[in-house]
Homo-oligomer: A and B are copies of this chain.
Amino acid sequence: MIYSTYRLIILSGLIATLLLHSCSPGQQSDLTEQDPLPSWNEGHSRTSIINFVQDVTNEESPDFIAVSDRIAVFDNDGNLWSEKPLYFQLFFAMDRVKELAPQHPEWEAEQPFKAVLENDMSELIKQGEHGLLKIVMSTHAGNTTEEFEGIVKNWLSIARHPRFDRPYTDLVYQPMLELIMYLQDNNFKTFIVSGGGIEFMRPWVEQVYNIPRDQVVGSSIKTEFLIEEGEPVIRRLPEIDFIDDKEGKPVGINRFIGRKPVFCSGNSDGDLAMMQWTASGEGKRFMLYLHHTDSAREWAYDRDSSVGRLDKGLDEAEAKGWTVINMKEDWKFVYPFELNEQ
């Protein structure tokens, strides 16, 4: 049911796109060919994706990949949805700090909570990774998995992104939704492999990306199974279990998927290790970096950004001939809502 809703949304986007451009002969031919990537402009990125998929799914090709080996992994933050001005999960954590503050009067004088309560972003960033971890532990643990899921869903239904004044889940990338569906239609099994929290993603990825909950690899805290008042619960503990970032990504892929991917999509240096891991397999592979170059529709950043830095990854992509999406040039639309605004 979720899947059909999802297909309907994607499909209506596709139809809208085709109708919008129906006077252009190029789009006319797309219509007859059932263009799988209607929000992608003609160019190297689009062509190389389609060539790869057509090649490895062709049984006659020397590059043919068996269905069971068609594993595709996608980073999430900055790759399937935006990550500016901060990772969206941090906005969630900050809102949680404000909500829980009445029960923690000590936070008014204690960093990093003080910075959050005073909306002092520069101080918060100064608190670094250790500060962020402290916030996550204080806001993501203590409750049961069911309670936490309810909190995430509720937050997503009311929170608004500061720049776009829209739900955060509106800020997913239309071209990436099409890419996921295109790969799924060609019998790729699609996984998210994110530094974000697994249990922060699971409540919404199924509906938004059509990726099942069990195909989400991410960071996690420890949990514990208990019988409380006769009812079995899983309680979230304030202790890191696994950080699924950088060298952790191939480790997470190995643990959860157990097979080397043949398609890897990411946008930052945090994705470089899983790109290298994917590239190291035998046979044809596809490594895809998203380069944020569009300050008008989204954001432009790379080597100097603290969130989503793309520096070594850009060099390695150039050196090894991996495909780099130029967001500004390659994407007709960034967000699904642009389709309705035209």
Contact = CB atoms under 8 A, between A and B. Distances in A.
Query: In the complex, which range does the number of interface residues on chain A fall in?
Result: 35 or more
Contact of A198 (B2, B191, B212, B255): B255
Given A66-B1, A68-B206, A234 B214 contact: no
A189 B206 contact: no
A93 to B, nearest CB: 20
Interface string A55-67: 0000000000011
Contacts of A213: 257-259
A182 to B, nearest CB: 21
Copy count, this protein chain: 2
A78 interface: no
A247 interface: yes
Contacts of A227: 276
A254 interface: yes
A243 interface: no
A7 to B, nearest CB: 14
Nearest to A274: B225
Interface string A270-288: 0001001101100000000
A223 interface: yes
Given A225-B250, A232-B273, 7 more contacts: A2-B68, A189-B214, A223-B254, A232-B280, A234-B277, A241-B255, A256-B256
- Going nearest first, the 7 A-B pairs with the smallest beta carbon separation are A213-B258, A225-B247, A225-B250, A232-B280, A214-B257, A202-B258, A232-B276
